[in-house]
Structure 1
Amino acid sequence: MKTLMKWSLEDYHNLINNGVLADKNVELLEGELIEMPPESPLHTYITSSGSNYLREKLKGLAFIREAHPITLSNSEPEPDIAIVKPHSHNYKNRHPFADDIFLLIEVSNKTLSYDLNEKKKTYAKEGIKEYWVVDINSRQIHVFFNPESDNYLVNKTLSKGTLKIQSFPDLELVIEQLFVW
Structure 2
Amino acid sequence: MSRQLDKYWISVDEYQRMGKAGVFSPDKRLELLEGEIYETSPIGSPHAACVKRLSALLNQLFGGKLIVSTQDPIRLDDFSEPQPDVALLRWRDDFYRHAHPTPADVLLIIEVADSTVESDRSYKMPLYAKAGIREAWLVNVVEECVELYAEPVGDAYQTIRRFARGEAIRARTIEKLSISVSDILG
TM-score normalised to structure 1 length: 0.93
Aligned equivalent of 2:22: 19
Listed as ranges, the gaps of 5+ residues in structure 1 are none
Q: Secondary structure at the match of 1:168?
A: coil
Check conservation: 2:31, 2:82, Cα contact below 8 A.
Answer: yes
Aligned equivalent of 1:8: 11
**Correspondence 1:46 to 2:50:** yes
The sequence identity of aligned pairs, in percent, is: 28
Aligned equivalent of 1:63: 67
- Using a 3 Å threshold, how does the CA distance of structure 1 residues 31 and 72 change in structure 2: closer, same or farther? same
State how 1:62-101 maps to structure 2 within 5 Å: 62-73=66-77, 74-101=79-106
- Using a 3 Å threshold, how does the CA distance of structure 1 residues 88 and 176 change in structure 2: closer, same or farther? farther
Deviations 1:116-175 (A, max 9, x none): 011111100000010111011000111100000000000011113111111223332222
Aligned equivalent of 2:139: 134
In our comparison, the structure showing a higher alpha carbon Rg is 2
Q: CA deviation at 1:3?
A: 9.1
**Correspondence 1:34 to 2:61:** no
Name the CA distance, whole Å, in 1 between partners of 2:109 and 2:17: 26
Deviations 1:68-116 (A, max 9, x none): 1111112110000000001151511111110000000000011111110
Name the CA distance, whole Å, in 2 between partners of 1:83 and 1:92: 16
Aligned equivalent of 2:176: 170
- Using a 3 Å threshold, how does the CA distance of structure 1 residues 3 and 115 change in structure 2: closer, same or farther? farther
Cα RMSD for the two superposed structures:
1.6
Q: CA deviation at 1:7?
A: 0.8
State how 1:95-174 maps to structure 2 within 5 Å: 95-160=100-165, 161-174=167-180
Listed as ranges, the gaps of 5+ residues in structure 2 are none
AA of the residue aligned to 1:173: I
